Amino acid sequence: MNAVKRFVMVIAMLTLSIWVSACATVPPQVPVQVQNAVFAKTGDTVHLFHGGSKLAREEFCLNAVVPVYRYEGRYSSLGSTGLIRNEVGKIKITKDLGEYYVEGVVVEGSMKSGDVAVQPQSGCLINVPESEKK
């Protein structure tokens, strides 16, 4: 009986290891869709999301000129690895759009949705509105 149990265990372990290795070597069959980035250039209007932070509302006041950065590199759950911050332009704040957004005009450079406008104590996420995406 002991030999039969060992034989069944060996067969089960071999079968399990084949299943695991087969799953690890098969690439995903999901097609990747690449979306074209739309850039806002000098004179275009963009929206800046600050999330309702009181500090950000104070720092991103009307007529403030704010530098905009693009962060590129790898992200991980343990922190950034090889993250690079490049200045891509400047925005002048023109209007308050409510509790979470302000509006600005690009005064220098070009930017896309996902770039970050940075002040000393806070930041805003750039969003290019649909009317600018032509």
Predicted local confidence at residue 68, as pLDDT: 92
State residue 91's pLDDT score.
94
88: containing domain? 39-132
Q: State pTM to two decimals.
A: 0.65
50 part of a folded domain:
yes
The structural domain count of the chain equals 1
Write out residues in the chain with pLDDT < 50, as ranges.
133-134
How is the chain split among helix, strand and coil, in percent rounded to 5?
25, 40, 35
Which residue type occupies 78?
A: L
On whether residue 31 sits in a domain, the answer given is: no
75, part of any domain: yes
Q: Is 30 part of any domain?
A: no
Q: In this structure, are residues 107 and 90 in contact, taking their beta carbons and an 8 Å threshold?
A: yes
Phi and psi for 82 in degrees, rounded to 5?
A: 75, 30
Burial class (CB in 10 A: 0-12, 13-18, 19+), 92: middle
Q: Is 95 inside a domain boundary?
A: yes
6 within domain boundaries: no
Inside any domain, residue 15: no
Position 93 in a domain: yes
